Amino acid sequence: MHFKRLLNRFETEFVNVSFSTNYMKKIGVFTSGGDAPGMNACVRAVVRGAIYNGLEVVGIQYGYEGMIEGRFVDLQARSVSNIIQRGGTILRTARSEQFRTPEGRARAAGNLKDADIDGLVAIGGDGTFQGATRLAEEHNVAIIGVPGTIDNDLFGTDYTIGYDTAVNTAVEAIDKIRDTAASHDRLFYVEVMGRDSGFIALDVGITSGSEHIAVPETQTNISELEEALAGSKRHKSSAIIIVAEGEESGGALSLAERIKDAAGYDYRICVLGHIQRGGTPTARDRLLASRLGVAAVDALLEGQSGVMVGEIHGKISFTPLKETWTKRKSIDKDLWRLASILST
C-alpha cells in the first residue's frame, strides 16, 4: 500500500510537470501603475502557483520600464516568504514613457525572448492592461492580467485587489476626523481617491455615516446640497461630506468653494491622499490576491492570453483585456439609494 501511494504521487507530479513544460517553462510577473495593498500577496501566489506546476518564475522589477531595461530577477518559493502581509510591491512599480512607443515595446519583447520567458502575469489597472494588450497584439506575447488597483473601476470583476484595504483605511481616518468635527462643531469635506469612479467614496460614505457623498458618476446639485446642510445644521452640530477626487467640481477644495457659507458651519478640508494606497492588506484582499494569482498561472497553462482573471459572484471569471477599460463598471444603484436614506 505504501509503494502504491508513492507510485500514485509520482504519476500525479509527473503528469503535472509534463503538462506545464509542454506549453511553458518560464513565466514572468510584474506590477505596474499605482501600487495597491495585496499586490505582494498576488506576486506570492503567482510564484508559488507556478513552481507547484513545474515552472520557473522571473520577477520583472519596475513594471514596463524594467521590462525595457531587462531588470529581471529569478524568484523561488522562499523569495516570496513573509510578504503576504506587506503593502506596496516588492517588485516596485513605475510609469514608462518608453513603453508607449512601438520601439519601447519591441525592446521589451526582445528582452522577454532573450530571457526565455514564455508568458506574463501583469498585475495592475487599466493602464497596465492597455500596455499588455499592445504587447500581446504586436509581439504575440501570452499575457494574463490580474486587477490590482484601489479604485475598483475595472469591468469584469466585482472587486479589485487593494480596494477593500483602501476603504477600511479611509473609514478609519474618517472616524478620527468625526471626533474632532464633533468637538469643534465643524463640517469636514473629506476627499478620497477615485479620479474616474466613486466606488471608494460611496462605500466610505455609507460606512462612515457621512451626510453627503459626491462622486464623478453623478452631478452634484449645489443648491440641494446647501439646503441639506441647512437642514442638518438644525439638528446636527457637525457633518462629514465625502468627495471623490474626480467629482466634477474638481475635488473637495473646489466643492467647498462652490458652497458659499456652508449653512453657517465652520468647515475644514481634509485630503486623505496616498495613505489609501499603503498599509497592511486586509484578509479579504489577501484572499482575493491569492486566489487570482494562482488562477492567472492556471490560465497561462491552459493556453489563455489577453484576458483578465477576476471574481464575479464568488467565481473565477475571465474578461478580454480590452473590455476591462472600454466597458463601464457602474456603481451600485441600491447602495446609492441606501446612502440617501441613511444620510437623513
Answer yes or no: do 192 and 217 share one domain.
yes
pLDDT above 90 as % of the chain: 81
In this predicted model, which residue has the larger pLDDT, 175 or 16?
A: 175
Number of domains in the chain: 2
In this predicted model, which residue has the larger pLDDT, 77 or 4?
A: 77
Answer yes or no: do 56 and 152 share one domain.
yes
In this predicted model, which residue has the larger pLDDT, 2 or 128?
A: 128
* Helical H segments across 185-310, by residue range: 199-207, 222-235, 252-258, 283-301
Q: Give the end of a domain, one of 258, 278, 298.
A: 278
Q: What is the pLDDT of residue 20?
A: 39
- Assess contact for 22 and 52: CB atoms under 8 A: no
Domain assignment of residue 130, yes or no: yes
Answer yes or no: do 286 and 158 share one domain.
yes
Domain assignment of residue 341, yes or no: no
Domain assignment of residue 235, yes or no: yes
Answer yes or no: do 142 and 179 share one domain.
no
Domain assignment of residue 331, yes or no: no
- Banded pLDDT at 2 (limits 50, 70, 90): low
Q: What is the pLDDT of residue 17?
A: 38
Q: What is the pLDDT of residue 278?
A: 95
Q: Are strands 307-312 and 315-320 parallel, antiparallel or unpaired?
A: antiparallel
Domain assignment of residue 339, yes or no: no
Q: pLDDT of 146-181, one tens digit each?
A: 999 999 999 999 999 999 999 999 999 999 999 999
Q: pLDDT of 220-266, one tens digit each?
A: 888 888 888 887 777 778 899 999 999 988 899 999 988 866 667 88
Mean pLDDT of the chain: 91
- Assess contact for 167 and 198: CB atoms under 8 A: no
Answer yes or no: do 56 and 115 share one domain.
yes
Residue 287 has pLDDT above 50, yes or no: yes
Q: Give the end of a domain, one of 244, 278, 312.
A: 278
Answer yes or no: do 33 and 181 share one domain.
no
Q: Which residues constitute the domain of residue 197?
A: 163-278
Domain assignment of residue 261, yes or no: yes
Lowest-pLDDT choice from 17-26, 57-66, 78-87, 246-255:
17-26
Answer yes or no: do 147 and 267 share one domain.
no
* Helical H segments across 194-280, by residue range: 199-207, 222-235, 252-258
Answer yes or no: do 285 and 148 share one domain.
yes
Residue among 236, 289, 263, 333 at smallest CA distance from 46: 289
C-alpha cell at 11: 504519476
Phi, psi (5° rounding) for residue 117? -90, 120
Residue 9 has pLDDT above 60, yes or no: no
Active site (catalytic) residues: 151
Answer yes or no: do 142 and 228 share one domain.
no
Answer yes or no: do 109 and 180 share one domain.
no
Answer yes or no: do 209 and 127 share one domain.
no
Answer yes or no: do 219 and 91 share one domain.
no
Domain assignment of residue 344, yes or no: no
Q: What is the pLDDT of residue 7?
A: 44
Beta bridge partners of 191: 243, 271
Average pLDDT over residues 79-96: 96
Q: How far apart are alpha carbons 147 and 161 in whole angstroms?
A: 6
Q: pLDDT of 185-234, one tens digit each?
A: 999 999 999 999 999 999 999 999 999 999 999 988 888 888 888 877 77
In this predicted model, which residue has the larger pLDDT, 238 or 307?
A: 307
